[in-house]
Amino acid sequence: MSKKLCISIIFTLLITALFGAFILRSTNKSAGEKEDTLVVVSPHPTEFMIPLIQEFENETGIAVEIISCGTTEAISSIMNNENIDVLWGGSLLAVGPYRECFASYKTLNRAVFMEDYKNVDAEFTCFSNVPSVLMINKDIIGDIKITGYRDLLQKELMGQIAFADPRGSSSAFEHLVNMLYAMGEGEPEQGWDYVKEFAKNLNGVLLGNSSAVYKGVSNGEFKVGLTFEEAAVTMLKSDKHIEIVYMEEGVVSTPDGIYISKNSSRQDSAKRFVDFMTSKDAQRFMASDLGRRSVRKDVEDSALVIPMDEINSITVDKEMVVENKYKWLSQFDEYLKEAADE
């Protein structure tokens, strides 16, 4: 291979890398560097966002700046930075207490949403259906059998469970809610005995964000992790030796959403973003190629996920969860401290 050809290849790779870095900027960058750029803050995985953002930009001509961070940090950014236009991601349960931060908007696409996702407050637009799951590394799990939450209390798993801080991660908060309802048999206050034992088996390990969970399991740092379905599907598609487990005690599936900041000066562009991401083409691509379940009636789920009617689905009282969010987070913290002191 000639020296000139080598230099040409290296230059091409550098340009590709810089292009990717341009699409996804870190939270250290100032938002709203261009007046006409739609600024979107999101906890979604990078590999999930890029293709959808590229299609939106190509179709609408609207440039997008993505600020990638956890759900709690994303909400804080919306509350404290008037230059941010849209929060893309975060479950309705996690974002619910901050409804006053968002503008009312009902996309016309709601007409084809499934009923559970159609009848929500105007400040919230459902984007996808996100079941909570367990993700197992098959290379290192050995003979340990895991079919649900109860199995996470096995002594062999102490310190080998990947779980994010539910204060910062909406997927971790979803699992906390799921535990309380599933292990309390529909009565969340009856589920705390289980959560207390679960906190002990974490052995002081609490990860900083959702991505650390699925990456940690797929890379062999942990035997099992509590994550969301699409992240596990992505690892499966990447040929990672993982297995997805839908908890036998019950699975909570909560929609995540798209939320327009009421302080946005680019309301029209933000509405177009909502319309595009809930359109049939975008939702169909999301389901077929990205492993996320659609909220639309006219879009089929990915072949990589099992049908919802084969999952032991359980429902939660959304108003109760929103009202008790901070109380439940404080209780979980107390159990973590007690476990550390033992």
pLDDT at 34: 58
Q: What distance in Å separates the CA atoms of residue 154 and residue 151, rounded to the nearest whole number? A: 6
Ranges of the chain whose pLDDT falls below 50 = 1-33
Are 88 and 219 in contact by the 8 Å Cβ rule? The answer is no
How much is the pLDDT for 23? 42
Instruction: State residue 337's pLDDT score.
Output: 94
Residue with token string 């292990």: 183
Three-class HEC string of 118-158: HCCCCCCEEEEEEEEEEEEECCCCCCCCCCCHHHHHCHHHC
Q: Are 109 and 283 in contact (CB under 8 A)?
A: no
CA 264 from chain centre, in angstroms, equals: 23
User: Quick one: angle between helices 46-60 and 267-277, nearest 10?
Assistant: 110
Interior angle at CA 56, CA 52 and CA 58, nearest 5: 115
Q: Tell me the Cα Rg of the chain.
A: 20
What's the pLDDT at 304? Answer: 80
Measured distance CA(115)–CA(111) in Å, rounded: 9
Q: What is the pTM of this model?
A: 0.82
Structure tokens at 85: 């236009």
Q: For the domain made up of 131-252+310-341, give the CATH fold.
A: D-Maltodextrin-Binding Protein; domain 2 (3.40.190)
Q: Which residues of 260-293 are buried (b: 16+ CB within 10 A; e: fewer)?
A: bbebbebeebbbbbbbbbbbeebbebbbbebbbb
The tokens 């996100």 sit on which residue? 130
In the chain, residues under CATH classification 3.40.190.10 are 3-129+254-303, 131-252+310-341
**Residue in this structure with the two tokens 């997008």, named with its chain if needed:** 64
Q: Cα 138 to the chain's mean position, in Å?
A: 23
> Which residues lie closer than 8 Å to 74 by C-beta, 6 or more apart?
41, 42, 43, 67, 87, 89, 90
Give the CATH H-level superfamily of domain 3-129+254-303. Periplasmic binding protein-like II (3.40.190.10)
